[in-house]
Each structure stands twice: as structure tokens, then as C-alpha cells.
Amino acid sequence: MKEVDNEDDLMNILRATERVLVLFYASWCPFCRGFLPIFKEYARKNKRDEFLFVKIDDENNLLWEKYDVEVVPTIVLFEGERVQRRLNGVLRVGLTEDQFKDFLVWSNKAGQTGRFGKK
């Protein structure tokens, strides 16, 4: 499990990895702090380097705009450098584990490799 906070590091990982599930978050966000343990647990169960934390604490971080992140936490599934699917957090609500599970199920049913969401 890796964490980055800038575009160069993110792009290096996306270029080197076939599929990456990225969590955009901010440490000051209470909804992110509540969701981080859920994301970490799924990453731990998968034992793969395809779960990535992208910390965007600074409102001037260019990643907010580049990936249209309006609310954190937001999850984006990348294949290479291309966004395949996203799960946007809801303002003043964040994300739930059930939403995340549904997102992972979709990833598996969409004919992708099926690695996400397995225990």
C-alpha cells in the first residue's frame, strides 16, 4: 500500500501498474478519517500494490482539478493512466463500506480481472 501527494508520483505508479484503485483523501476531513480504515482493510486483504492513497490536503494541489475531485473521499479506478470508474464521496456524508463493496462488485462484473473485493 503506497501513499502519494503529487502528480508526478501518481503518474509513475499509474504507468507502472495495470490497475490501481486510488483513494483521494484529505487528513483534515472527518469522513476520510472514517473511511480510511475500511480502504486499508480491503487493501490488506488483497495483499497487492494496487490500492493507492492520494493525500490532497492542500486546496491548491493540482490533483483536485485534474481528476475532478469535488468531495473527499473519492475513489477512482485506473487502468494504466485512464480513469475507468469513480465513486464520488457525498458532501457532509463521505463514503460507506456498502458503497465501496458495490463499487468492487461492479469492477468484477465488468469483465475485469476480478482481483478486487476478494478475501
pLDDT given for residue 88 in this prediction: 97
Is residue 117's pLDDT more than 90? no
- For helices 30-46 and 97-109, angle between their N-to-C axes, nearest 10 degrees: 40
Average pLDDT, integer, range 60-85:
94
How many Cβ atoms are within 10 Å of 24's Cβ, its own excluded? 25
pTM of the predicted model as reported, rounded to 2 decimal places: 0.88
Task: Identify the burial level of 95 via C-beta atoms within 10 angstroms of its C-beta, where 0-12 means exposed, 13-18 middle and 19 or more buried.
Answer: buried
pLDDT given for residue 16 in this prediction: 94
The CATH homologous superfamily for domain 2-109 is Glutaredoxin (3.40.30.10)
pLDDT given for residue 111 in this prediction: 42
Is residue 112's pLDDT more than 60? no
pLDDT given for residue 105 in this prediction: 86
Average pLDDT, integer, range 44-56:
84
How many residues appear in the chain? 119
The pLDDT-based confidence of 87 (bands split at 50, 70, 90) is: very high
Distance CA 62, CA 33 (A): 22
Is residue 118's pLDDT more than 60? no
Domain spans in the chain, listed from the N-terminal domain onward: 2-109
